[in-house]
Structure 1
Amino acid sequence: MFGLEKNKTSPLFEFDLEKELKQDAGKTQKLLQRIESKIQELKNVLRQGANSKEFDDSGILLHGYAALQRVLNRISRKK
């Protein structure tokens, strides 16, 4: 009554990848290693300097891989 009743919270949404990785810890580590190698490759491309279009694309990919790495680390800590 008047907002004092118990709020029934719905469970948080989980992505399919998140469910999969919670079941198999080895897969998470393999993915993290693959992502780390891709990040290092992209950093090398950026250090070498490339034409403007390739440089921009590499930067965008680097940000995407870094975000995925953060998400995977967060998932692995939640287990």
Structure 2
Amino acid sequence: LTRAQVRRAIVEADDVMAAEFNRAFVAIQYYGYLRRIPETDGYQAWLDYLNANPNDSRTMVNGFLNAVEYKLRFGQP
């Protein structure tokens, strides 16, 4: 195997995907809805929520859509 193939196998491994998915998902919400990098406390709070409620990403998305910051920038969802 080449180095690239080994790296790809690691990155695409189910355990790596599972370990990184929530972190990436929370960060993407900040980039997508608020158009900024996450602040540490807010990011950690949403990550903790998602880790405790893995089947409830809907509540988190709703939180971003109803955030004052989102409404001030984009109006009502």
Is the shorter-chain TM-score for this pair beyond 0.5, marking a shared fold?
A: no
Say which one has the larger Rg: 1
TM-score of the aligned structures, taking structure 2 as reference length: 0.32
Please give the TM-score of this superposition, normalised by the length of structure 1: 0.31
